[in-house]
């Protein structure tokens, strides 16, 4: 499906690179990419795995999206959380999802997590870290539950519990304290919820709600939101002034005489 | 697709083709076809990945062919390249959109989606090539 327009595609990338250097000389700034300073985690339990993420997207020091979805669909049995530049994680996961779908149609089998992992790491290494996507990939296939963490330069780790993003240290502290092998589903969900909450309350780049995704054999529970940790407050009083608060001294009414000059009817083209 | 062969294969895949302009008649650069030239653009890449991406497919093919030659013998890459050449000639006139279906199927690109398929859709392109000049260039009359 590749066309021969690869060179033209690259032209825009090089143009942007040149612009970046020229624009700073004139004194302007390039617009900041929207990042998801984030807390994303994954943990393997007895019959599957749980992925968790917060829902705040930041643009510099401002919250750009209070409820963004960071757990992306890759295939019916594989989901991926993304940290880093929001557009990069979105597009990368969508491309890999499409390629995995084509691949699984070609093989006739359910896709494996190791396939998704290899596709992702080869693509990220090809672009030498310029694609800022740090991912937590997890899924259930014929060989059981698998959890990978993938870094922007293309290195991957296969582990029973992983955290990524700016809140990863806070979340990892919770994991290191309470992780046990072969947990039950409810314990794993509670552990992930607490790890994300630690990231939300201790890291400025993470906030708002907690999303969970539980993947077991034949069943995926996408719980969005699982826990609204930061509900916006409700105003307790009304701050509007009642009618009559300001006394009226004088009142003059001027009638504006408008005469109808022309009346046209334009019918909508609903064909 | 990204098979990394034996380390000895590496020396075959490091071409640093320059970013030179098209050279027209009399050896001067062809402003009509490639725009105004700037010496800096020709000498230095404007992005760290420019050279790597420009030659990516070329290097992949070289590495794969050389691995194939070492495993199966000279006939394998020879036959494949012959088929590529034949498939590459199946195109429409230069200014029309060719589907490259045979070439894509041979290369395995019919089973993968990448940035070339999503970005820069030729149907949305704002520039249209002048048909007569493109055909004359292709036939070598220009």
Please tell me which residue, B39 or A194, carries the higher pLDDT value: A194
The model's confidence at residue A84, banded by pLDDT at 50, 70 and 90, is very high
Cβ of residue A95 closer than 8 Å to a chain B Cβ: yes
Which phi and psi angles does A199 have, rounded to 5°? -65, -40
Residue found under tokens 């004088």: A250
Q: How far A3 CA lies from chain B's nearest CA (Å)?
A: 6
B101 contacts B87 by C-beta, under 8 angstroms: no
Q: How far B63 CA lies from chain A's nearest CA (Å)?
A: 15
pLDDT above 80 (res B32) = no
Domains of chain A by range and CATH?
Answer: 35-228 (3.60.20.10)
Tokens of A98: 């499409």
What local confidence, expressed as pLDDT, does residue A11 receive? 65
pLDDT above 50 (res A241) = yes
Say if the Cβ atoms of B117 and A2 lie within 8 Å: yes
Of the partner residues A3, A17, A130, the one whose CB lies closest to the CB of residue B46: A17
Q: What is the pLDDT of residues A110-161, one digit of tens each?
A: 999 999 999 999 999 999 999 999 999 999 999 999 999 999 999 999 999 9
Whole-number Å distance between alpha carbons of B16 and B29: 20
Instruction: Supply the mean pLDDT for chain B.
Output: 79
Active-site position among A38, A55, A58, A89: A38
Return the minimum-mean-pLDDT range out of A65-74, A173-182, A231-240, B64-73. A231-240
Q: How far A64 CA lies from chain B's nearest CA (Å)?
A: 25
pLDDT above 90 (res B84) = yes
Cβ of residue B8 closer than 8 Å to a chain A Cβ: no
What's the average model confidence in pLDDT over B13-18? 49
Q: What is the pLDDT of residues B42-59, one digit of tens each?
A: 777 778 888 889 899 999
Say how far residue A164 (Cα) sits from the centre of its chain.
13
Would the pTM of this model clear 0.80, i.e. be above it? Answer: no
Return the minimum-mean-pLDDT range out of A35-39, A179-183, A217-221, B77-81. A35-39
**Residues 60-99, chain B, touching A (beta carbon < 8 A):** none
A157: how many CB neighbours lie within 10 A of its CB?
10
| CA torsion through residues A94, A98, A99, A103, sign | positive
The model's confidence at residue B138, banded by pLDDT at 50, 70 and 90, is confident
Instruction: Supply the mean pLDDT for chain A.
Output: 89
The model's confidence at residue B136, banded by pLDDT at 50, 70 and 90, is confident
What's the average model confidence in pLDDT over B90-94? 86
A133 contacts A72 by C-beta, under 8 angstroms: no
What local confidence, expressed as pLDDT, does residue B99 receive? 85
What's the average model confidence in pLDDT over A22-33? 71
The per-residue b/e assignment along B64-103, b for 16 or more CB within 10 angstroms, e otherwise, is bbbbbeeeeeeeebeebeeeeeebeeebeeeeeeeebebb
Contacts with B112 from chain A: Cβ below 8 Å: 1-2, 99, 102
Residue found under tokens 């968790």: A52
Say if the Cβ atoms of B120 and A5 lie within 8 Å: yes
Whole-number Å distance between alpha carbons of A265 and B70: 79
Calculate Rg over the CA atoms of chain B: 18
- Is-catalytic flag, A236? no
């Amino acid at each position: 499906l590749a066309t021969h327009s690869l060179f033209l595609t690259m032209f825009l990338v090089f143009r942007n690179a040149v612009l970046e250097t020229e624009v700073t000389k004139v004194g302007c700034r390039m617009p900041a990419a929207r990042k998801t300073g984030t807390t994303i985690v994954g943990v393997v339990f007895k019959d599957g795995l749980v992925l968790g993420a917060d829902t705040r997207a930041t643009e510099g020091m401002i919250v750009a999206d209070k409820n963004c979805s960071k757990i992306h669909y890759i295939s019916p049995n594989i989901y991926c959380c993304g940290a880093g530049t929001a557009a990069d994680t979105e597009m990368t996961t969508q491309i890999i999802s499409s390629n995995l779908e084509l691949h699984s149609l070609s093989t006739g089998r359910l896709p494996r997590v190791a396939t998704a992992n290899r596709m992702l790491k080869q693509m990220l290494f090809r672009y030498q870290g310029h694609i800022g996507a740090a991912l937590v990939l997890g899924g259930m296939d014929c060989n059981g539950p698998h959890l990978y963490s993938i870094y922007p330069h293309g290195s991957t780790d296969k582990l029973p519990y992983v955290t990524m993003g700016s809140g990863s240290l806070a979340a990892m502290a919770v994991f290191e304290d309470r992780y046990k092998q072969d947990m039950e589903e409810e314990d794993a969900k509670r552990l992930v919820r607490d790890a994300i909450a630690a990231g939300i309350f201790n890291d400025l780049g993470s906030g708002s709600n907690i999303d969970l995704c539980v993947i077991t054999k034949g069943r995926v529970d996408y719980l969005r939101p699982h826990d609204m940790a930061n509900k916006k407050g409700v105003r307790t009083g009304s701050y509007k002034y009642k009618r009559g608060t300001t006394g009226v001294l004088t009142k003059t009414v001027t009638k504006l005489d408008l005469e109808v000059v022309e009346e046209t009817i334009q019918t909508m083209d609903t064909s | 697709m990204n098979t990394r062969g034996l380390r000895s294969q590496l020396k075959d895949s490091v071409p640093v083709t320059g970013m030179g302009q098209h050279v027209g008649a009399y050896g001067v650069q062809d402003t009509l076809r490639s725009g105004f030239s700037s010496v800096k653009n020709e000498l230095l890449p404007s992005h760290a990945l420019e050279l790597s991406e420009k030659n990516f497919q070329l290097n992949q093919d070289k590495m794969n062919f050389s691995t194939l030659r070492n495993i199966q013998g000279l006939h394998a890459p020879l036959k494949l390249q012959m088929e590529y050449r034949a498939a590459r000639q199946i195109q429409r006139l230069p200014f029309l959109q060719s589907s490259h279906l045979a070439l894509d199927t041979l290369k395995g690109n019919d089973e993968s989606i990448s940035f070339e398929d999503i970005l820069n859709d030729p149907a949305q392109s704002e520039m249209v090539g002048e048909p007569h000049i493109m055909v004359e260039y292709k036939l070598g009359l220009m």
